[in-house]
Structures are given as C-alpha cells and as structure tokens.
Amino acid sequence: MTEMNTKTGEQPTYLRRMHRREFVKLLSALGLGLVAEQLLEDTFMAHDAPIAQASTGDTKGPYWGMVIDLETCIGCHRCVYACQATNDTASEHLWNILIEDQATFAKPVFVTRPCMHCEHAPCVDVCPVRATYHREDGLVAMDYDRCIGCRYCMVACPYGVRVFNWQENVEPNPQPEAWGSPEVPRRPRGVVEKCTFCSHRLDAAAERGLRPGYDRAATPACCVICPVQARQFGDLRDPNSPASLALKGRQAIVLRANLGTKPRVFYLLPR
C-alpha cells in the first residue's frame, strides 16, 4: 500500500515519482542539469586524482567524502529510512531525500541529496552566532545551544539541505527497527538541523578502534544500509579508501560546482 500524507493526500517527498519537466526543474535548482553541455561545464572530473587538498581543517587529517553512484542506485529508499531512523528526524524534516528521473537515461536514475558539507560553506559564513561551523575535520556542524533560529543558513544554503524545527518533535520515530534505531538526541524546537554525515559515529571511531568507510559502526547509516553499495564513504586523502576507489576511472560531478562551495558529495554518472 502506498504511503500517503494524511494532511495533504499526497505521497511524501521521498516517495514521489517526478515527471521529467518537474525533475529537471528541481535538479536545476540544485545545480545538477542533465544536459551534456551543462554537465561538461560544471563537471568535476574524477579519475586517478579524485580530489585536491582540503582548504579547511587539519590538512594532515582525514578528508571525509561521500560518493553516490547514479548507475548503481536502485531507488529502494533504504538510505532515506536509515537516516531517519538513526538521526530520529520527523517525516517532514528528512535530512536525506530521493528524487527519480525516468526519462533521461535508458533506465530510471535516482538522485539522493544529503548535506554537501562544503569546504566553502555559505551557511557558515552567514551565521551571526557561529552556531554553524566547520569541525576540525572540515565537516559542517551545528551547535544547537547557540542557534537562535534566524534561518540565515537556510537561505544561504544553495542545496536546500536544512530544515527548521517550528514545533517540538514528540511523535514516535516512524521507521521500524529494521532500518536502525535513534543514536542521537532529538533537536529542540526553534533550531535548524541537517545531515551530519553521522558525525557521532566518526567521533567514536578512534576510541573504538574502528575505521570510517570500512567498519559499519563508524560509517554513515545511509551508506551502511545500501544493498547495492551505491553509496561509499571514506577519507579521500587515502587512495585506498572505499570513497577514493569508487571515484577511480569514473566521471563524477558535484552539485553547483560553479559556485565554488567545494562539496564533499560526489555523484558518479551512468556509464
């Protein structure tokens, strides 16, 4: 039975199938146009040298990145479900969304969108109280105690990854235990929240002797749950990390490359 929004009578955003015109319009807003000329203009070519040195954080530390294979993804929504279960988000506040294109390629292509964790993040630049900031490892994080709910970061984000808590989330997590269980506290009313790359797992990795990208308990939930390994995570300074290996020999793009935000999420194009 198809899940419906009881208030609007529509399918949730992450379950909708979009017509081509609607899909292209949304991708254009995200900076990902499926036109060859535009792709070539804004493409990040990922072959044997997957990424340049990071400009934020400790240049000797890890450069965490996520690689999403548009050819391999089957649109099962498990990454959406696992993210919601693990980070205990409300249904209208998903940190990871999925959209589908049924017309551009020989088979449907599914595009998922987490936070890009940009090196040059506009959301960090505009926050008046430094509630949005770069961690030492370069990931974009939130300090909920500092956040004053001005939502400047939401306006500044070119990828639409942020959501605002107008109300306190008191509803049970809608995802069954099969997709995971909450690992972080719920955020309070009046603050902005977003995907963290499951940074709580990264932070606990060293003390537990685990390696992000390799060990499930130290890797973002959306990557761990994927049944076809369409999502890879790891240190892009390590040429042998799962993320680096996924980029080798493939053409990849980042969303809105022309803005110079330098996202850490890379999309592998269908071959």
Question: Using CB atoms within 10 A of its CB, is residue 27 exposed (0-12), middle (13-18) or buried (19+)?
Answer: buried
- For 148-187, how does the pLDDT look when each residue is reduced to its tens digit (9 = 90+)? 999 999 999 999 999 999 999 999 998 888 899 999 999 9
3-state secondary structure 12-81: CHHHCCCCHHHHHHHHHHHCCCCCHHHHHHHEECCCCCCCCCCCCCCCCCCCEEEEEECCCCCCCCHHHH
Q: Is 139 helix (H, G, I), strand (E, B) or coil?
A: coil
Mean pLDDT of 81-89: 96
Q: Look at residue 56 in the predicted model and tell me its pLDDT.
A: 44
Residue 15 has pLDDT above 70, yes or no: no
Mean pLDDT of 105-115: 88
Ordered structural domains, the chain, with CATH:
44-97+115-268 (3.30.70.20)
**Residues above pLDDT 90, as percent of the chain:** 67
Q: What is the H or E stretch that residue 208 is in?
A: helix 199-208
Q: Look at residue 1 in the predicted model and tell me its pLDDT.
A: 35
Q: What is the dihedral of CA 148, 149, 154, 156, to 10 degrees?
A: -40
Confidence tier at 14 by pLDDT (50, 70, 90): very low
Q: Look at residue 105 in the predicted model and tell me its pLDDT.
A: 72
Mean pLDDT of 74-103: 93
Q: Look at residue 271 in the predicted model and tell me its pLDDT.
A: 82
Residue 70: how many other CB atoms lie within 10 Å:
20
Prediction pTM value: 0.81
Ranges 31-40, 45-54, 85-94, 101-110, most confident: 85-94
Q: Look at residue 178 in the predicted model and tell me its pLDDT.
A: 86
Residue 194 has pLDDT above 80, yes or no: yes
Task: Quote the CA–CA distance of 175 and 88 in Å, as a whole number.
Answer: 9
Residue 155: how many other CB atoms lie within 10 Å:
11
Residue 46 has pLDDT above 90, yes or no: no
- For 230-258, how does the pLDDT look when each residue is reduced to its tens digit (9 = 90+)? 999 999 999 999 999 999 999 898 988 88
Q: Look at residue 12 in the predicted model and tell me its pLDDT.
A: 40
